[in-house]
Amino acid sequence: MHATGFIAAMRLTIHRDLLIAFRHWGQVAQPLIFFVMVTTLFPLALGPDLATLRGIAAGTLWVAALLASLLGLELLFRADHADGTLEQMLLSGQPLAMLVLAKAVAHWLVSGMPLVLLSPVVAASLAVPRAAHNTVLLSLGLGTAILSSLGAIGSALTLGLRRGSLLLGLLVLPLAMPALIFGARAIDLSIHGDSPRGPLLLLAAMLALALTLTPPAVAAALRISAE
Amino acid sequence: MAFTWFNKLASPPHAYRIAGRLLPWFAWPSGLLIAIGLYGGLVLAPPDYQQGDAFRIVYVHAPSAWLSMLVYGTMAVAAAIGLVWRIKIAHAVAAAAAPVGASFAFLALATGSIWGKPMWGTWWVWDARLTSELLLLFLYAGVMALRASIDDRDRADRASGLLAIVGVVNLPIIHYSVYWWNTLHQGSTLTKLGKPSMTGDMLWPLLAMLLAFTLYFGAVLLLRLRGEILLRERDASWLRAELAR
């Protein structure tokens, strides 16, 4: 018998998490429905004037995406913690940071990506012009990935706590604000016909930073929480 | 050899006694300097040619803003020491520092807002500096909330310590993104008012207050550390002997 490499372990982790998600697809759909509902609140609250909606579309899309991804993050490690899988991951001898990265990727595939695919429809309802839809996809695509990795830290730190979901918001939202600033800025520039290149590149840089720096932090947080 | 004093510092009885012995060396100079600085700032310094007497709030505002950042740094360094070398006293320092830093951040925001009312004509402007100070307050709130939510002391120490370190890595990103956010938004001319470079008789009270506030933080930290040690070691036998003396 030979030892499993960490690439194989990551692939197995992603496969397992995707399989679990597809067996409970109701849970996967909840943040999406929440995303659509929150974006519906704004036209109802502010009135159906299209020019107003176009003005707030970028901010609305981003705030709704931020809140929706917070909802999903709470579940990231909870089931694994409850049934002992997390202990097995800690004891497996595999680099924990890599397993965590795999879990974050799987989480993004089932929570971030559907939200991104849905976003042009929601954007159209907020009177975002057709030309800006690609920016919406890119901005939220990069953004939800950043949120998945930042949120994993909060999710690991609040594991098993009472009122964990409220605390998760308190911990993660301040960290996510830079992404919100540039993500919403990119969409806003695009709506007004300007090039969103600058903010999008900054978002991409943030994602690169998040992907390299957060997995060790999440691994450390899991070791603290799982004791 | 050189580390023996350091190791001693890590033991609660020694830290408790040393903190008590150091306390007056911070508290008295701080009180004296605050008195001197306030007299210099509120009485001796001339009114600003543009802002009149309203500028004098800077003698509280600027030291508070400086301390809010220094305390976060102190907290994160203490937490890192505690996490790496598993020194409980370092975690106690971090726990003692957090509410102090949050108070300074709040004070900086409140005084900034009071200054803004006559200067900008409004209590709050989404100025880059004010906004990043607000986000700093949020980071403090997160660290304190996490500590308060975990019952197990060891886990609370380490989890909130890790969050404080994550916050330090994020602080420059938050600071610059907020800064660019405001300038991207065509910063209003009001915020471009900027600080007039100060004359000497305005500057020295400010420097005195900066030093005074820093010493004050040292004194409060030592005092709170003693309280934190009392709380954590309440069942220890050395404490009974110490208090009986």
Q: What is the pLDDT of residues B224-244, one digit of tens each?
A: 999 999 999 888 888 888 888
Can you give the pLDDT at residue B2? 57
Give Rg (Cα) of chain B. Answer: 20
Report the alpha-carbon angle B216-B221-B226, nearest 5.
130
* Cβ A195 vs Cβ B162: under 8 Å: no
Can you give the pLDDT at residue A175? 92
Measured from the Cβ of residue B155, the count of other Cβ atoms closer than 10 Å reads: 18
pLDDT higher at B79 or B10: B79
Contact A221 B159 (CB under 8 A): yes
Longest dimension (CA), chain B: 65
Contact B149 A162 (CB under 8 A): yes
Q: How confident is the model at residue B193 (pLDDT cuts 50, 70, 90)?
A: very low
The residue assigned the tokens 């890590």 is B10
CA distance B23 to A206: 43
Contact B146 A167 (CB under 8 A): yes
CA dihedral (B209, B214, B216, B217) in degrees, to 10, reads 140
Domain count, chain B: 1
Summarised one tens digit per residue, pLDDT across range B42-72 is 888 888 777 778 788 888 998 999 999 999 9
CA distance B68 to B63: 9
Can you give the pLDDT at residue B242? 82
Summarised one tens digit per residue, pLDDT across range A2-18 is 567 888 889 999 999 99
Contact A220 B162 (CB under 8 A): yes
B119 HSE (CA, 13 A, CB side): 25
| Summary mean pLDDT of chain A | 90
pLDDT higher at B1 or A60: A60
Q: What is the pTM of this model?
A: 0.89
Residues of chain A with pLDDT under 50: 1
Domain positions in chain A: 6-226
Q: Any bridge partners for residue B48, and if so which?
A: B52
Can you give the pLDDT at residue B197? 58
Q: Considering only CB atoms, which chain A residues are within 8 Å of B155?
A: 224-225, 227
Say whether pLDDT at B184 is over 60.
Answer: no
Can you give the pLDDT at residue A1? 43
Say whether pLDDT at B192 is over 50.
Answer: no
How far A107 CA lies from chain B's nearest CA (Å)? 21
Measured CB to CB, residues of chain B less than 8 Å from chain A are 83, 135, 138-139, 141-142, 145-146, 149-150, 155, 158-159, 162-163, 165-167, 169-170, 173-174, 177-178, 180-181, 184
ipTM: 0.88
Contact B155 A224 (CB under 8 A): yes
* Cβ B96 vs Cβ B228: under 8 Å: yes
CA distance B226 to B228: 5
CA distance B51 to B68: 25
B39 within domain boundaries: no
Token pair belonging to B1: 């050899």
B5 within domain boundaries: no
Q: How confident is the model at residue B120 (pLDDT cuts 50, 70, 90)?
A: confident
Measured from the Cβ of residue B138, the count of other Cβ atoms closer than 10 Å reads: 19
Measured CB to CB, residues of chain A less than 8 Å from chain B are 153, 157-158, 161-164, 167, 170-171, 173-175, 177-178, 181-182, 185, 202, 206, 209, 213, 217, 220-221, 224-225, 227
CA distance B205 to B63: 11
How far B237 CA lies from chain A's nearest CA (Å)? 28
Say whether pLDDT at B147 is over 90.
Answer: yes
Distances (CA, A) of A221 to A91, B90, B141, B180, B193: 15, 18, 19, 31, 44
Report the alpha-carbon angle A187-A181-A175, nearest 5.
135
* Cβ B29 vs Cβ B208: under 8 Å: no
Contact B170 A175 (CB under 8 A): yes
Contact B146 A158 (CB under 8 A): yes
Q: How many CB pairs under 8 A join A and B?
A: 71
Distances (CA, A) of B135 to A175, A226, B99, B121, B126: 9, 29, 15, 23, 12
Contact A170 B142 (CB under 8 A): yes
Mean pLDDT score, B121-143: 88
Can you give the pLDDT at residue B110? 93
B38 within domain boundaries: no
Can you give the pLDDT at residue B189? 42
Q: Which of A157, A174, A182 is facing B159, going by the closest CB pair? A: A157
* Cβ A200 vs Cβ A217: under 8 Å: no
Summarised one tens digit per residue, pLDDT across range B3-38 is 666 667 778 888 898 999 999 999 999 999 999 999
DSSP-derived secondary structure letter, B55: G
Q: Which of B146, B177, B181 is facing A157, going by the closest CB pair? A: B146
Q: Which of A161, A182, A206 is facing B150, going by the closest CB pair? A: A161
CA distance B136 to B115: 20
Rounded (to 5) percent helix, strand, coil in chain B: 85, 0, 15
B159 within domain boundaries: yes
**Who's near A140: CB < 8 A, 6+ residues apart?**
A61, A62, A65, A115, A116, A119, A183
Distances (CA, A) of A105 to A14, A51, A123, A156, B50: 7, 37, 25, 15, 56
Summarised one tens digit per residue, pLDDT across range B151-175 is 899 999 999 999 999 999 888 888 8
Q: Which of A171, A174, A202 is facing B135, going by the closest CB pair? A: A174
Measured from the Cβ of residue A26, the count of other Cβ atoms closer than 10 Å reads: 7
* Cβ A221 vs Cβ A99: under 8 Å: no
B210 within domain boundaries: yes
Q: What H or E segment, with its residue span, contains residue A86?
A: helix A85-91
Can you give the pLDDT at residue B190? 42
How far B175 CA lies from chain A's nearest CA (Å)? 9
Contact B146 A213 (CB under 8 A): no
* Cβ A65 vs Cβ A143: under 8 Å: yes
Contact B166 A167 (CB under 8 A): no
B35 within domain boundaries: no
